[in-house]
Amino acid sequence: MNLLHDIETRDESGHVRVVVEVAAGNRLKLKYDPAIGAFVWSRLLAAGVSFPYDYGFVPRTTGGDDDALDALVLSDVASYPGVVVPGRVIGALRVEQQRDGKPVRRNDRLVLVPLYDHHRAHVSEVAELPERTRAELEEFFRASLVLTGKRVRLRGWADAAEASQLVAAAAARYEASARAAIGRA
């Protein structure tokens, strides 16, 4: 068992879990490597760019880029890599990426509100966030990929229902892949 990667996608109440890889305010992009069960140095963001909120992945999911779904935890406080945050999905930024002439791939970013963050307990949809906040998140995701060689296209915001469907589809892809791997063993 891989402690962080193999925990359930949702808690007993159905809330999505996010494993934090990068704490808010950091320029260092860490990535959890399930093969070794540890966080590894991925890259530095460009000078002047740092994560505005905790950033991580939803365990037991496979997104359009063949990695776990990316997730941003909308909270005013930073946590630490490895912290598991139960939250409510309020939406997702639809993202397409391309590198080195390879096919365009979806790499959406979920946005969650932590269950126990009382400052945003009233927020249930990404559209309820100020326009400025959504615009800043879009610019952060563009800036976070500067100098990586990836071309990025933002395709608008998904509401909470569509984002929850993204989680369900990514969890189903993960389970299908895990069953296929067991079948090959």
Question: Taking Cα atoms as reference points, which of 88, 95, 67 lies closest to residue 10?
Answer: 88
Tell me how far apart the terminal alpha carbons of the chain are, to the nearest angstrom: 16
Render each residue's pLDDT in the chain as its tens digit; 185 residues: 566 667 999 999 999 999 999 999 999 999 999 889 899 999 999 999 999 999 999 999 999 899 999 999 999 999 999 999 999 999 999 999 998 888 899 999 999 999 999 999 999 999 999 999 999 999 999 999 988 888 999 999 999 999 999 999 999 999 998 888 777 76
- Which run of H or of E encompasses 73? strand 69-73
Coil, strand or helix at 148? coil
What the block records as the tokens of 74 is 């909308």
Domains of the chain: 16-184 (3.90.80.10)
pTM above 0.85, yes or no: yes
Helix intervals (H) in 99-159: 131-144
CA distances (Å), origin 39, targets 60, 99, 155, 167: 17, 24, 30, 23
